[in-house]
């Protein structure tokens, strides 16, 4: 009996209207841009071209193809085991936060005079690449891992379109987020952060195992690090709640260092302690930007400080 082809929407639901990845992957175009991807593209049981998203080499090659096709990146690579983030979701974060700068205006501020900071840039350098190539913004990327900094610098230097637009800095004190990275008198328009989610290595492994088992439909399926991730990329003591709370407390010490501070929050139940911390430091404007990609829901929390340091109540996710 002939296998029925699965019916897909042309445009995926919930993505930002400026996101270049709203539609399903066009593997013919991607293979044209990056011929090595053809090794991993197969026709699945629904009759669609796809890759095995549980194969880390295939996932990395897909990222390379996306960066080549959509952002003009000629060289991109990461060391084995390092985080290989899904590009569509990272692009959505960039575009939603760009709307903060527009303040309701039609045009998004663009060009190198818009100065951005990516906390935890990683070896992949994804946020600076997408932000610079989409809006022309200049970036500083920081990381506590010397090898990640070295690799991100290599990506920048091997792509003339990025060189002189992106600077990668090593954070030598893992307890600091801004101090030691921000130069005296330096001002940013936007701060980005995708914080480590888990609170321990065992929690990270359990979470990965649960995710794989749910997707594969096989209980206790072996963990496959398809998107990779080093320990500092996946977990820290206290998980994303503690990391973002520290980020908020330290941003209070440098309230004029950025127009907007932002962080990606994976779970809605983590919002309450984050709102409490924001109110405790008298954050002026607090916004929560929901993002929904299929069944996956997340949100961006953004805050800033006014000259008067006026306290306002935190907004709920539905506001």
- What's the Rg (C-alpha) of the chain? 20
String of DSSP letters for the chain: -PPPPPP--SB-TT--TT-TT-BPP-HHHHHHH-GGGGGT-EE-TTS-EE--TT-HHHHHHHHHHHHHHHH--S-----TTS----HHHHHHHHHHHHHHHHTT-SSPP-STTSEEEEET-TTT-HHHHHHHHHH--EEEEEES-HHHHHHHHHHHHT-TTTTTTEEEEE-S-TT-SSBTTBPTT--EEEEEE----BSSHHHHHHHHHHHHHHHHT-TTPPP--SS---HHHHB-TTHHHHHHHHHHHHHHHSTTSEEEEEEEE--GGGHHHHHHHHHHTT-SEEEEEEEEETTEEEEEEEEE--TT----PPPPTT-
Give the per-residue pLDDT at 195. 92
Domain 79-304 sits in which CATH superfamily? Vaccinia Virus protein VP39 (3.40.50.150)
Question: For position 295, what pLDDT does the model report?
Answer: 79
Contact 220, 250 (CB under 8 A): no
Q: Of 188, 117, 186, 125, which Cα lies nearest the Cα of 156?
A: 125
- Supply the pLDDT for residue 165: 98
Please state whether 245 falls in left (phi above 0), alpha (psi between -120 and 50) or beta: alpha
Q: Across the chain, what does the average pLDDT equal?
A: 85
Long-range contacts made by residues 31-39, C-beta under 8 angstroms, separation at least 24? 31/65, 33/65, 33/68, 33/69, 34/61, 34/64, 34/65, 34/68, 34/69, 36/61, 36/64, 37/61, 37/62, 37/64, 37/65
pLDDT of residue 207: 42
pLDDT block averages, 10 residues each, the chain of length 319: 49 88 96 98 92 94 98 97 93 97 86 97 98 98 97 98 97 96 96 75 46 50 49 58 96 96 95 97 97 88 76 44
Specify the pLDDT at position 197.
56
**Would you kindly state where each structural domain of the chain is located, as residue ranges?**
79-304
The whole-model pTM stands at 0.85
Instruction: Report the alpha-carbon distance of residue 90 to residue 130 in Å, rounded.
Output: 8
What is the predicted pLDDT for the residue at 233?
45
CA atoms within 13 A on the CB side of 281: 23
Please say whether the beta carbons of 121 and 148 come within 8 A: yes
| Cα distance between residue 286 and residue 273, in whole Å | 14
The count of C-alpha atoms lying within 13 angstroms of the C-alpha of 135, restricted to the half-sphere facing its C-beta, is 28
**Chain centre to alpha carbon of residue 145:** 17
Rounded Cα distance, 51 and 72, in Å: 22
Instruction: Supply angle C-alpha 39, 41, 44, rounded to 5.
Output: 140
């Amino acid at each position: 009996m002939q296998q029925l082809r699965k019916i897909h929407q042309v445009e995926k639901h919930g993505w930002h209207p400026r996101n270049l990845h709203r539609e399903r992957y066009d593997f013919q175009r991607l293979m044209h841009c990056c011929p090595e991807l053809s090794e991993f593209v197969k026709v699945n049981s629904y009759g669609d071209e796809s890759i095995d998203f549980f194969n880390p080499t295939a996932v990395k090659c897909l990222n390379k193809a996306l960066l080549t096709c959509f952002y003009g990146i000629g060289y991109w690579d990461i060391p084995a085991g390092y985080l290989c983030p899904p590009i569509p979701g990272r692009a959505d974060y960039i575009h939603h936060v760009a709307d903060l700068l527009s303040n309701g205006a039609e045009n998004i501020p663009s060009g190198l005079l818009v100065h951005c900071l990516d906390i935890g840039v990683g070896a992949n350098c994804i946020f600076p690449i997408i932000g610079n190539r989409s809006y022309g913004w200049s970036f500083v990327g920081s990381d506590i891992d010397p090898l990640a900094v070295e690799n991100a610098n290599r990506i920048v230097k091997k792509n003339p379109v990025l060189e002189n637009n992106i600077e990668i800095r090593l954070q030598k004190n893992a307890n600091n987020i801004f101090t030691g990275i921000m130069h005296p008198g330096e001002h940013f328009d936007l701060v980005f952060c995708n914080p480590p989610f888990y609170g321990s290595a065992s929690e990270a492994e359990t979470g990965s195992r649960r995710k794989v088992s749910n997707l594969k439909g096989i209980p206790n399926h072996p963990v496959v690090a398809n998107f990779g991730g080093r320990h500092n990329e996946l977990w820290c003591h206290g998980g994303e709640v503690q990391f973002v709370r520290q980020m908020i407390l330290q941003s209070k010490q440098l309230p004029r260092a950025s127009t907007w501070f932002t962080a990606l929050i994976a779970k809605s139940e983590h919002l309450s302690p984050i709102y409490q911390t924001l109110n405790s430091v008298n954050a002026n404007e607090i916004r929560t930007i929901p993002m929904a990609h299929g069944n996956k829901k997340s949100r961006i929390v953004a805050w800033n400080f006014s000259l008067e340091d006026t306290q306002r109540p935190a907004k709920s996710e539905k506001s």
